[in-house]
Amino acid sequence: MTIDIGGDEIHALNCVRNLGAYFDKHMTMEQHVKSKCRAAYAQLYNIGKVRKYIDHQSAEKLIHTLVHSHIDYCNALLIGLPKYLIQELEMVQNTAARVFCTIGKYDHITSPLKALHWLPVEFRIKYKTCLLPFNFLHGHGPEYISQMLIPIIIHYGLRRQDNLTLVMPRTKRKTLGDWAFKVAVPKLWNLLPKDVRSCNDVGVLK
């Protein structure tokens, strides 16, 4: 597809990059995930070559800075993605744990991951997503968020009560519609226990 603007032909691309995130024409985010995985594996390769020369603290800082930064970047965009894409990111984190703990490719990874206290990628995504309404409801979010996240206010006679849930619009499409910010974020937030939604400490949310 091409668009003519002032005599110049603008050709449509299958994938575009915006602020470091990749968006394909079908909004599957597959290109974004693959790009972040490639970048993270490249960093892990370099860290692996020097791992035996550095201590645990330095290795952990390198992995958080150079690897987890790729896994976590714009990860709120990944809410609702198919499991096979999330699994690709999970494999990156598993490899990072192997490099950090200096264990073999075929050794069990469950115990090292628990010892490191690294959240699985699926929950890292959910945490980042829930952080958006948490900040919004505590008056710390950007103003444009208020146009997409609407609190549900319940009235009992003359009393007004905020149950700290958000309006979740209905969608016609079960794929892209459910991935929309104004649908996916309220859906995930409303599933949290009330004591978590009403807490004032972001540490409780973690």
Residue that is last in its domain, among 99, 118, 137: 118
Which tokens is 65 given? 């800075």
Average pLDDT over residues 128-144: 83
| Same-domain pairing of 11 and 107 | yes
* Residue 99 clears pLDDT 90, i.e. is over it: yes
Tell whether 82 and 26 lie within a shared domain: yes
Q: Are residues 103 and 130 in the same domain?
A: no
Q: Per-residue pLDDT averaged across 163-174, rounded?
A: 73
SS3 state at 115: helix
> Domain check: are 71 and 6 in the same one?
yes
* Contact assessment for residue 75 and residue 124, using Cβ atoms and an 8 Å cutoff: yes
Same domain, 194 and 153: yes
186 and 143 in a common domain: yes
Nearest of 120, 138, 124, 127 to residue 189 by alpha carbon: 127
Question: Which residues make beta-bridge pairs with 112?
Answer: none
Task: Report residue 25: phi and psi, to 5°.
Answer: -65, -20
Range of the domain at 26: 2-118
Rounded mean pLDDT of 66-83? 90
Mark whether 53 and 153 lie in a shared domain.
no
Domain end call among 118, 152, 175: 118
Kindly state the tokens that stand for 135.
């900040």
Return the residue matching tokens 């690294």. 118
Are 167 and 137 in contact by the 8 Å Cβ rule? The answer is no
Number of domains into which the chain is organized: 2
pTM of structure:
0.79
